[in-house]
Structure formats: C-alpha cells, structure tokens
Structure 1
C-alpha cells in the first residue's frame, strides 16, 4: 500500500465533441452543406450542426424547408421577421404554416460549421 499520486487531482477528461457542440441530442442533426457561402464561413461539403429546438434570433443562420428542398437562409427580425437569401441578399417572406404558432418552414438553427481545413479555401488573400 502506498500514498496516492499528487497528480491524481489534475487528471483532465478527454475532449468530447459530443459534450461540446450538442446540447440537446434528440433535436440535433448533422447535415452536409451543398454550396459555399463565404461570408458565413460555409464551404461546400462542410458539416453543419443544426439544433431544431432553438428559436432563431436576429442574424441566425437557418436550415429551412422550402418545398422539397433544404436551404440555408439568414433570419432577420427588423423591420419585420423575414429570411434573407445568402447569395443575393434579397428579403424573402417566411412561409406561413397552417397551424398557428408553428412554422414548419424553419427546420433548425445552425449552431456550428465544421469545414475541412485541408482544402486551403481560407488563406491570407482569398479571391471572391
């Protein structure tokens, strides 16, 4: 029998991305970006972490269900709540749902964007 190690008080847990980026597992989805949106830091093929339980705030980047497609839009509150197209900057009305208070067009809020850094897209002097 001996004395416990003095370093045992300083043992750190392993890094867990699940604990770091997923707050509500039942409402979290992983999606792959199908287009590049430089201003938002989204590259084609980026892994998007989407939380369907969050309410968007002004400037949130959303995944929206428009018809049969999923699209990335920006949410704006002023002067009235609307969506903003990331490519053109054009204002778009939020599609109304049949049930009061439930908007099925907004699928979820993008909380994290994970890009592959090996592509070299983000360098010192990007050309846009």
Structure 2
C-alpha cells in the first residue's frame, strides 16, 4: 500500500493485486446485539474490504480525515475515507477537494451563483469557490471506515 502525507489528509493507495486469498476471515452468521445464540454451524470464507468498498480499483484511494469540519456528516477525526476519482462530482456529494494548495473534505453545494464547499459542523463557515481560487475536485467519498 502506497502512503502519501499532505497537510490535512493522508492518502493511501489500495493494493490492486489479483490475489484472491487476501482478506480477513469472515464468519457468515448474524452477530447478535441482544442475547448470544449458540453458533455451532457457521460458514467461514475470506472477505476483502477492498472487494466490498472499491468499485474502480485504479481510481480509488484512501485518506485519513484530519479535523472536525465534517462531524455532523459522520466524518470524524482519524476516520479513513474511501475516495473514488472516477465518479462525477454532483450537488450534495461529499468530495475531497484541492483548494489553494491544500486538500479538504466538504459537501459540494452547487447553486446558480457558484460552487460552495459546505462543512457539516456549525462552527465552520461555507467556502465559496471563486475564479481566483486554485480548485480541483479530486474525488468523491464513497465510504468511511471508523475505529470503535
């Protein structure tokens, strides 16, 4: 896995090897959140999170969140984002953007008067993208991986 550090995000490139034996052991039984049930008979198989979370391997990257601006969207500090660069940016999608030399993750708000980068935390102000900004929508967030 290739790792690249920037000021606000740490990017990880998924391993695109074709080794189908990779992945963690997956036990295909329902895990009870109530009373435990005996599970003598269950099926074991290999499960790759890349297979479940990555639609386009060559265009997908991981990045770790740094900061609190998206906490109301469920993106917390140190969460791992799955980012697909092949998806089209659209209104209301969460995107990783390159703005004036820094990476940031925000919700896209596309209006008649322009594009806004909308934080999901009341303590942060929306950012209006203007012609003076160096701005690239780098990719669309498809999933978030959290530690518990």
Answer whether TM exceeds 0.5 for this pair.
Answer: yes
**Partner of residue 18, structure 1:** 50
Does 1:71 find its partner at 2:104?
yes
**Partner of residue 90, structure 1:** 126
**Partner of residue 112, structure 1:** 143
Alpha carbons 2:93, 2:140 under 8 Å: kept: yes
Stretches of structure 1 lacking an aligned partner (at least 5 in a row) = 1-10, 98-102, 118-128
Q: 1:28 to 1:94 in 2, by over 3 A?
A: farther
Stretches of structure 2 lacking an aligned partner (at least 5 in a row) = 1-42
TM-score when scaled to structure 2?
0.59
Alpha carbons 1:94, 1:105 under 8 Å: kept: no
**C-alpha deviation, 1:43, in angstroms:** 1.0
User: Higher helix proportion, which one?
Assistant: 1
How much is the aligned-residue C-alpha RMSD, in angstroms? 2.6
**Partner of residue 46, structure 1:** 79
Aligned length: 102
Structure of greater Rg: 1
User: Higher strand proportion, which one?
Assistant: 2
